Amino acid sequence: MSALNERLEEDTPTPVLTAKNVVRRFGGVTAVNDVSFDVRRGEILGLIGPNGAGKTTMFDLLAGSVQPSSGEIMLNGAAVSGEAAHRRIGRGLGRTFQIPRPFPNLTLLDNVMLAAQSQAGEGLLANFLKPWRVKAEEKAAHDKAAELLELVNLSRLAHEPARVLSGGQRKLLELARVMMADPAIILLDEPAAGVNATLLEVIIDRIRDINARGITFLLIEHNIDMVTRLCHRVLVMASGQLLCEGTADEVARDPRVIEAYLGGAA
């Protein structure tokens, strides 16, 4: 390898998340077929495609709720293809869902605090042997949760039960909960779905604010206006395969993308 190539490799940061030749079969159906891509550290990457394209299965594979039939998934340079979802959370991967399901009778503050990782108070003995440590960690979690609710414009509802929230507010609450675990990357599953125009603007602003803190995003979204405004790059899937990638404008003009949407690819 030349000195120039060595220097270029050193200057290229390790992708925060990588899919390499990933395949997932369900019986005789191939939902994801030999898909490869990198999510670059610090970017907002969009994943779009017609219904049935394999986007949600790809998210499940990346998050660890589904295991690949073949191929490899790397998180912060480590192979995680066989790891469960909770272990990937510990490695810095967070995920939201299209339909958020907070604990309806708990306050917003408690919902966010529950997402705190590795608390000493989770162990029975620590509550007796190290009560000062448990108390200090609980206070830190409380303060952090309050700060995150402020970040997502929900602080005025901090002590209200989560059942009072609208659909858009629940998505903001879920974003705060994911942030509680200090993720390096967040997978967002259709953050615009079912959200009114006013709250959608808030969600877009909050994603930008969080991204400015160095958090990477990969999002599935059907709202092309949101994708165009937010995403640095866009991946397009159709029929379980990666069709193309580029800027939002580039993929919108790609004849293969137009065919996939208008031609009814599944």
CB atoms within 10 A of CB 92: 18
Write phi, then psi, for 244 (nearest 5 degrees).
-165, 170
Q: Which pLDDT score is estimated for 133?
A: 64
CATH of 14-101+182-262, one of 3.30.70.20, 1.10.3720.10, 3.40.640.10, 3.40.50.300: 3.40.50.300
Q: Which pLDDT score is estimated for 14?
A: 77
How far apart are alpha carbons 48 and 40 in whole angstroms? Answer: 17
How far apart are alpha carbons 202 and 211 in whole angstroms? Answer: 14
> Which of 118, 181, 117, 113 has the alpha carbon at shortest distance from 149?
113
Q: Which pLDDT score is estimated for 71?
A: 97
For residue 157, what are the contacts with CB-CB under 8 A and spacing of at least 6? 108, 149, 164, 165, 169
- Residue pair 20/230 in contact (Cβ under 8 Å)? The answer is no
pLDDT per residue as tens, the chain (266 positions):
445 445 444 455 679 999 999 999 999 999 999 999 999 999 999 999 999 999 999 999 999 999 999 999 999 999 999 999 989 998 999 999 888 999 999 999 999 998 885 544 444 444 444 554 657 778 888 999 999 999 999 999 999 999 999 999 999 999 999 999 999 999 999 999 989 999 999 999 999 999 999 999 999 999 999 999 999 999 999 999 999 999 999 998 999 998 888 764 43
Domain with CATH 3.40.50.300 in the chain: 14-101+182-262
